[in-house]
Chains A and B, each alone.
Chain A
Amino acid sequence: MAEGKRPLPKPTPETQHFWEGAKAGQLKLQSCNECSKTYFPPRPFCPGCGSRDVKVVNASGKAKLHSYVIHARPAPGFDPPYAIAVVELAEGPRMMTNIVGCPQTPEALQLDMDLEVTFVKQTDDIALPMFKPAGT
């Protein structure tokens, strides 16, 4: 078993909706009512145009593997080797994540492979969005 504990997020007023969504099994993004940009990570204004007229939207949960490393050394809460990935969501934004339900090898982890979101419960308050190969 992994030594230590995985670091967990501490939500702020600006990110509360994201973590509440994750707990309920929904991936939340934000979208600008003025310029239509969809963005992440959360903030109460649009990083594209500065407008405060933004809304929270549900993401499709579809993504593609954009890049990754496979950490070979132990880290708190993790058993090596484990992949640290960045995925590109169907809506455009990218996010860091782990890839689950798949060997943590270069052979299994092919860039641009189709992925879908899954939520992994950590505590009563926090579920982390992770991604698994699509259709599995």
Chain B
Amino acid sequence: MKQKSVAVVGAAETTELGKIPGMSQIQLHADAALNAMKDCGLKPKDIDGIATAGETPQALAQYLGITPTYADGTAVGGCSFMLHVRHAAAAINEGLCKTVLITHGESGKSRVAPTPRPPYPDSLAGQFEAPYGVFGPPTMFTIPVMRYLKKYNITQEQLAMVAVVQREWAAKNPRATFRDPITVDDVLNSRMIAYPFRILMCCLVTDGGGALILTSAERAKDFPTKPVYIVGTGESVEGPMISQMEDFTSSKAFRVSGKKAFEEAGIAHKDVDHMMIYDAFAHLPLYGLEDLGFCKPGEAAAFIGERHSAPGGKLPINTNGGGLSYMHSGMYGMYALQESVRQMRGIAPAQIPGAKISVCHGVGGMFAASGTIIFSNEAP
């Protein structure tokens, strides 16, 4: 896409986060959408493009009373919203629509009217993975890690450090679910989920939602909010079967998506002031840092151990506390995008002073898909 041709003008999460038993999944979408519209002074009739995952675009359009000329139902898991941003930017530039609403809502904890995800026993994953006792992301997303630890001689203490540092960020965020400091010992002594993963290395399960509104950079000037420009975008997919991931120590989808976003943005790694790396589990920031080229293969754990991503470090990462401590409804990518937008607007609870460029990197499924959005708060 053309750099800074499109901007985020509206951004909001659901009014509540965490445990919201009084709202169904689609109402979480709507709550976030109405908050985002209020944020930038729009009404449903002003929206002519919609994108969503979890719910369908048609369900969302009818529920919110929107008649779109552009609808994107890309659903590749938790990074779907990064892909929605990328596609929306292309659609706006192509004239398919002027104002795109992207929504997420998920009753991850309370399970009020969620979308069922039945396992199909005749799918390839149903035939060649499900019979061996995989039971959701904690037993699938985690499978490559023993190979990564062995290849690079990384310890479980180093893996635990990812969770420790993110809790430091969460402590600065009043909306974070977990805010009390933790130590490496706390992580390694917490309940075993799927060796080598302890519960404090796994994401939360909460209720919530978020929404973004995008329009052309030209129109963005007329909105009450500070525009957050899109400078580079990337996406890719690998596949839904974790057992067939090409390389257990590096995500192909991450590498392809990250490279494309950096090429579009025309920036160097040293230009990045702030970063979000979707952390469903503690190993994801390690893969993200390496696959996006911030660290050489095998060096991300030392980078985090040396506190470069921690408060006061040179590359603040997951400054909302991340999926490990802030919230995680199931498809967390929307919350990573929200934090990048807050940082670019200068209103984040743990604001990075003077931050101008934010990289927001998402994963979908278990290394199945990826999306990367690079934001800037400097006008074109």
When distances are taken between beta carbons in the complex, the residues of chain B under 8 Å from A11 are: 122, 127
B98-141 contacts to A (CB < 8 Å) = 119, 121-122, 124, 126-135, 138-139
Q: Does A119 contact B (CB under 8 A)?
A: no
The answer to whether A73 and B193 touch (CB under 8 A), given A66-B248, A86-B243, A96-B128, is: yes
The answer to whether A71 and B147 touch (CB under 8 A), given A7-B121, A9-B121, A81-B195, is: no
Checking B132, B134, B244 against A94 with a beta-carbon cut-off of 8 angstroms, the contacting residue is: B244
Asked if B128 and A72 sit within 8 Å, CB to CB, the answer is no
User: How far apart are the CA atoms of A7 and B131 in the complex, in Å?
Assistant: 5
Q: Does B267 contact A (CB under 8 A)?
A: no
The answer to whether A41 and B134 touch (CB under 8 A), given A69-B143, A95-B243, is: no
User: How far apart are the CA atoms of A106 and B149 in the complex, in Å?
Assistant: 13
Q: Identify whether the interface residues of B are mostly helix, strand, loop, or mixed.
A: mixed
When distances are taken between beta carbons in the complex, the residues of chain A under 8 Å from B139 are: 69, 71, 75, 84
Q: Tell me, rounded to whole Å, the shortest Cβ–Cβ distance linking A93 to chain B.
A: 8
When distances are taken between beta carbons in the complex, the residues of chain B under 8 Å from A122 are: 131
Asked if B195 and A67 sit within 8 Å, CB to CB, the answer is no
User: How far apart are the CA atoms of A69 and B124 in the complex, in Å?
Assistant: 21
Asked if B194 and A70 sit within 8 Å, CB to CB, the answer is yes
Asked if A97 and B145 sit within 8 Å, CB to CB, the answer is no
When distances are taken between beta carbons in the complex, the residues of chain A under 8 Å from B262 are: none
Count residues on chain A whose CB falls below 8 Å from chain B CBs.
36
Q: Tell me, rounded to whole Å, the shortest Cβ–Cβ distance linking A100 to chain B.
A: 11
When distances are taken between beta carbons in the complex, the residues of chain A under 8 Å from B146 are: 67-69, 111
User: How far apart are the CA atoms of A67 and B140 in the complex, in Å?
Assistant: 11
Q: Tell me, rounded to whole Å, the shortest Cβ–Cβ distance linking A22 to chain B.
A: 11
Count residues on chain B whose CB falls below 8 Å from chain A CBs.
35
**Per-position contact with B for A7-49: 1 when CB-CB < 8 Å, else 0?**
1111110010001000000000000000000000100000000
* A-B pairs with beta carbons under 8 A, tally: 110
When distances are taken between beta carbons in the complex, the residues of chain B under 8 Å from A76 are: 135
Asked if B133 and A75 sit within 8 Å, CB to CB, the answer is yes
Checking A41, A82, A95 against B133 with a beta-carbon cut-off of 8 angstroms, the contacting residue is: A82
B190-231 contacts to A (CB < 8 Å) = 191-197
Q: Tell me, rounded to whole Å, the shortest Cβ–Cβ distance linking A20 to chain B.
A: 13
When distances are taken between beta carbons in the complex, the residues of chain B under 8 Å from A68 are: 143, 146
User: How far apart are the CA atoms of A96 and B130 in the complex, in Å?
Assistant: 9
When distances are taken between beta carbons in the complex, the residues of chain A under 8 Å from B35 are: none
Q: Tell me, rounded to whole Å, the shortest Cβ–Cβ distance linking A51 to chain B.
A: 19
A63-113 contacts to B (CB < 8 Å) = 66-73, 75-78, 81-82, 84-86, 94-98, 106, 111
User: How far apart are the CA atoms of A66 and B133 in the complex, in Å?
Assistant: 17
Asked if A67 and B244 sit within 8 Å, CB to CB, the answer is no
User: How far apart are the CA atoms of A33 and B347 in the complex, in Å?
Assistant: 60
B227-246 contacts to A (CB < 8 Å) = 241-244
Q: Does B144 contact A (CB under 8 A)?
A: yes
Asked if A72 and B147 sit within 8 Å, CB to CB, the answer is no
User: How far apart are the CA atoms of A104 and B224 in the complex, in Å?
Assistant: 59
Mark A residues whose CB is within 8 Å of B: 6-12, 15, 19, 41, 66-73, 75-78, 81-82, 84-86, 94-98, 106, 111, 122, 128
Mark B residues whose CB is within 8 Å of A: 119, 121-122, 124, 126-135, 138-139, 142-147, 150, 191-197, 241-244, 248
The 6 closest A-B pairs by CB, nearest first: A9-B127, A70-B195, A96-B243, A10-B122, A75-B135, A69-B194
